[in-house]
Amino acid sequence: MKQSRITFLSVLFFAVFLIIDLSCGKKEGTAVPPDPCSGITVVVTGITTNPATPGASNGSITATATGGSGFTFSINGGPFQTSGTFSGLTAGTFTITVKNSNGCTGSAAFALTDPNPCAGITILVNGTISNPTAPGSSNGSVTVTASGSSGFTYNINGGTFQVSNVFSNLAAGSYVIIAKDINGCTGSSNFTLTASNPCNGINITVNGTVTNPSAPGASNGNIVATATGSTGFTYNINGGAFQSSGTFNNLAAGSYTITAKDANSCVGSATFLLTDPNPCSGVTITVGTSINGTDPCMAPGGMITASGSGGTGPYTFSLNSGAFQSNNIFTNLSSGNYNVSAKDINNCVGTVTNILVPNLPAGPLFSAVRTLIQNNCVSCHNPTNANGGMIWTVDCNIVTFKDRIQARAVNGNPSPMPPTGLLPASERQKITDWINAGGRFTD
């Protein structure tokens, strides 16, 4: 029993010692082995060989590495191998990973590409066309040939490729044909098909008869057009809609273009002029006038009063080609010849020419005074000896100086005239009567 207890205590003591020893070891630590990749950079380089033809699996990558020794190589995460050469590769991107003897790794990517099968290949596309036989027809065709490679297929305007080089049932238009060889190399050409012109040699002539409007401003004129040179005509006027009839009614005066179009849309045209009738045809405007003369020794006072007949009133009037006016009286006219025109509502005009506005004749009182003045005073008052600027041989001079005549010859102020003495009372009375009547030429 005692021996067992000793053995148990011994075991317990050893266990406690072991625990304490292990605990102390963790606290003070044991040496951690160094990282074998610290400061090591594995650099991967390589040489590539592309596949010899598109789709081939004969490309290769030969990789080498630095940054250690004992290298092994893996491609795209595959198993590591001692050789850095990977063969039987297609075009693509590959990642080569290299691991040294200490497990340190590096990697690099390499790209293999297929060769361009079209390098140096020029495909030429030629062809012959057959145009559609009529406008709107789809019986044209294009036949092409390609050169510069082999194994061609063809498409038209981006459609499906076909083995045949003939494209049929084509309408007029523009087409692009592509030739593709066995390697997918292409060439193309443009072809244009045109429909034959149905109007070649067609000359359409348009004739017609016109009926002018019956009155100025009326819209009852018409044109009846006919066409020759083809068949199936329709007609339009001034670019309007085409109609089967060549008759166009309700037209005012003016210029009109009639176009005729046949069944193939070939056209011809002609221009027709409709005119208003002359409203003055057969109309004679007669101008009537009455004349008042003018006193030659006063401001112009002649007058012409005009009237019109023979047309449609109301009338307007013009003097000497001046502006027309509604007033038919022209006043303040000097003596002379005048032309007067009358115009009716339809602008029909009549004119009378050389209407004389005369000087009015001398009145009897003035004539008596003129006689006595000229009999007694002309010797001192004439163009050669015009005392005081008074010339009694000029009628209007007598009118101008009537007050001077009255003062000298009637009143003797400041001295009598003629110098031989005052005129007899009867003569002086003639001057007084004329002055009292107004002292005018016409009195």
What pTM was computed for the model? 0.47
Q: Which of 301, 333, 357 is the last residue of a domain?
A: 357
85-89/92-99 β-pairing: unpaired
Q: Which of 165, 193, 221 is the last residue of a domain?
A: 193
Q: What are phi and psi of 123, to 5 degrees?
A: -100, 125
Q: Does 368 share its domain with 431?
A: yes
The CA distances from residue 252 to 113, 176, 235, 393, 430, in Å, are 83, 55, 19, 70, 75
Q: Which of 319, 341, 357 is the last residue of a domain?
A: 357
Distance CA 197, CA 195 (A): 6
- The residue segments making up the domain with residue 404 are 364-437
Contacts 24+ apart (CB under 8 A), 32-37: 36/102, 36/103, 36/104, 37/102, 37/103, 37/104
Any domain includes 24: no
Q: Is the peptide bond before 314 cis (omega within 30 degrees of 0)?
A: yes
pLDDT of residue 14: 43
**Residue type for 44, please?**
V
Structure tokens at 79: 């198993």
User: Strand pairing partners for 251?
Assistant: 221
Q: Does 179 share its domain with 213?
A: no
Q: Are 42 and 105 in contact (CB under 8 A)?
A: yes
Rg (CA), the chain: 66
Domain tally, the chain? 5
Per-position pLDDT tens, the chain of length 443: 434 443 443 434 444 333 334 443 444 456 778 899 998 999 999 999 999 888 899 999 999 999 999 999 999 999 999 999 999 999 999 999 999 999 999 999 999 998 888 988 999 999 999 999 888 889 999 999 999 999 999 999 999 999 999 999 999 999 999 999 999 999 999 999 998 888 988 999 999 999 999 988 899 999 999 999 999 999 999 999 999 999 999 999 999 999 999 999 999 999 999 999 998 988 999 999 999 999 999 999 999 999 999 999 999 999 999 999 999 999 999 999 999 999 999 999 999 999 999 999 999 999 999 999 888 888 778 877 777 778 888 999 999 999 998 988 899 888 888 888 888 999 999 999 999 999 999 99
Q: What is the CATH number of the domain that holds 163?
A: 2.60.40.1080
Q: Does 348 share its domain with 396?
A: no
DSSP state of 117: T
